[in-house]
Structure 1
Amino acid sequence: MNDRNNIARKLSAILLCASTALSAPALAADKDEAISKPPAIYTDLVACKNITEAEQRLACFDEKVAALETAQTNNQVVIADREQVREARRGLFGLSLPRIKLFDGDGDDGDQIDQIEGIIASARASRSGKWVIKLEDGAVWQQTDAPRSTSRRPRADDAIAIKRGSLGSFVAKVNGGRAFKVKRIVN
């Protein structure tokens, strides 16, 4: 549960940063260029390196680093490494969210997530007989095809693999068994 809370906190901070960064450059001529352009607080810091006089350059760095630190403390800017972004993408797998370049997977790392693997924390049948499966990471998935399509009852501690299907669908296999269609639901 603690890992889930950490991911949720990081994700909300990253989304806050992304929404802040996306709202300001809406007037730019080239939308893709505006989205990929670093925030001014970062470019101002980098610009300090072009100052030739050492004392002025140091003063510039001190001022801009303090501003960046304050912005990060106030969640106006989020510093995230590639692994944190990958973990956020994994946590978002299966959810329909607005397209945010940060999570597109079209960046330099080509890290589009097409499949996740996990362990079932709990599984129950809904009134319609379709399975509702909660993973250890807290994600909840619901079966969308006919209830009889599963070969056996999913149980806690079973391994599950969920991958992207065609036309935005998702397919799950429990312990390598017969595949069935699922969708991610918000719990």
Structure 2
Amino acid sequence: MQAYRLAALAAGLTLPLAALPQPAHAQVDDAIVLEIMRQCARIDDASARLACYDNNVRSAGASPARNTVPGQIAAPQASSAAPAVRGFGSEDVRRSDRFDSTPAGQLDELTTRVTAVRMQQPGVYRLTLEDGAEWQFSESVPNSYRPPREGSVVTIDRAALGSFLMVFDNQMSVRVRRIR
């Protein structure tokens, strides 16, 4: 009986809401929307790119926002902080101003020499490469694994879901992440 009363009450509340006039949404040509999205996608800075998407979707009538003209692309704001980390795997370095992991370059693998090796904990090593980039093992390796030494050549490949695998001396691959 109690469930019947609640259902009747809910039905009674939704009928008046359905009778209220709904706002009319402007129809925008799909080609215009696609061009706006392409223009936004060209913005390198992730927060400026997101702002471009948000501002243009709002201006098309999705939700109330600033007064902008539909179809007009919002100008991205220039980022004051220049990215200090560049090169292969730089998108994996955590920074406070960037939360996405879009690949910065087109390289699928990097083969380079190790300039320094530090053991962080048993089975986990931090490597410094020729270009100054620092990579750390994401998982520990067994005692039988021979870690690279100074002067060793390693290959780092892109793996699934934005991760990286390092291969050294025909041993098993090790999941690594770029620190700096």
TM-score, structure 2 length as denominator?
0.47
Determine which structure has the larger helix proportion and give its number. 1
Compare CA radii of gyration and give the structure with the larger one: 2
TM-score, structure 1 length as denominator?
0.46
